[in-house]
Chain A
């Protein structure tokens, strides 16, 4: 079945460092891909999405490009801030696999000043 694999954390960075969180997927159809963020004590917020191959999602300085050839959707940010400390989830939805979102296990990012 469909699945999402993302790099294990925690990821610990200094402020202004470059961030990459790797995400790869397995899907039977043509999935839409998402990054969600969960700040401490809060629910999930959609960070960005891409609905077809070669689309680039971006928001708040974060970017991810839907790469069909490598089945990847890596999250990047050029300069992280302390306020970016959170748990990041990669997810997919696939009409071939059903209605629900399928999530990776989450990556905890901790940014220090």
Chain B
């Protein structure tokens, strides 16, 4: 079974900390995505990557950066965590040019205190 694995299910971090959220997929997918999920707002795209070392901003990139050094791994970085970044973060991947085969990870619930 194809899988997208997010390294942490729950995280609690302090304001101002640098936070790394990791996502690994085992499907050799070119595209990887980071979404943020908030009640009443649905899922909003933060960043996506269509190839190693390539990235594109999504709808809400402010306060975030990403890294994709290897095809299977896509990291979301909060340079200086703030309380308004408390949220559920979801990673997804799919094959380039295939607009239906998205696979999601189980999510990381981040609390910034």
| A residues in contact (CB < 8 Å) with B | 31-32, 34, 36, 42-46, 49, 51, 89, 91, 93-95, 99-106
Contact = CB atoms under 8 A, between A and B. Distances in A.
Given A42-B107, A43-B90, A89-B42, 11 more contacts: A32-B99, A43-B107, A51-B100, A95-B97, A99-B48, A99-B50, A99-B94, A99-B99, A101-B92, A103-B42, A106-B42
Give the residue among B31, B96, B99 with the most A Cβ atoms within 10 A. Answer: B99
Interface of B: 31, 33, 35, 40-45, 48, 50, 58, 90, 92, 94, 96-97, 99-100, 102, 104-107
Contacts of B41: 105
Given A99-B48, A103-B42, A105-B42, A43 B100 contact: no
B48 A43 contact: no
Question: Max chain B CB contacts within 10 Å: which of A42, A44, A46, A95?
Answer: A44
B58 to A, nearest CB: 7
A95 B106 contact: no
Nearest to B47: A100
B99 A94 contact: yes
Nearest to B33: A100
Sorted from nearest, which 10 A-B pairs have the closest CB atoms?
A105-B42, A43-B106, A93-B99, A103-B43, A44-B104, A43-B107, A103-B42, A32-B100, A100-B45, A32-B99
Nearest to B31: A99
A109 to B, nearest CB: 14
